[in-house]
Amino acid sequence: MNRRMIALLGGVAAMAGTLAFAGTAEAASSTPCAAAAKACVQRSSNTAWLTDGAGHVTYGGVPITVGLAKYPTPLGTFHVQYKDIDHYSKQFNGPMPYSVFFTNTGVAFHQGSLKVKSHGCVHLSHAAAVTFYNSLHPGDVVQVVP
């Protein structure tokens, strides 16, 4: 009887581990944005993702920083306007490498500090900025959620 009980409990534990793993994998493969968004930004978690435009994550979530309370990254659905690999902001007197602009007011994904908030842009690490720059194209949908 002990062997049967041990075998039964072992089977239950294995099933529970499988279910926990499946739930974790499922959570990692989705974003809080609409399926059509090729880039998703969640301000509250300081996380961004790239997707295939059908809701499947292709890259991320990666850590980001967003705009200061005084200059918030705008919420909504946007489209990539243009890209500039070596952009320099005259307004803020600073480099914005690997910029992908997605608003008509100058908000972009770009390489920047992950410790300092921006004037509305989405700061990415160097590696993430390169990936976002290479993956996004004019017209692609970008969604920013709370």
User: Is residue 12 scored above 90 in pLDDT?
Assistant: no
pTM: 0.80
CA 62 → CA 19, 28, 59, 114, distances in Å? 25, 11, 8, 11
Ramachandran bin of 80, using left for φ above 0, alpha for ψ from -120 to 50, beta for the remaining angles: beta
User: Is residue 120 scored above 90 in pLDDT?
Assistant: yes
Judge contact between 85 and 97, C-beta under 8 A: yes
Residue 101: band (very low, low, confident or very high) from pLDDT cuts 50, 70, 90: very high
How many other CB atoms are there within 10 angstroms of residue 25's CB atom? 9
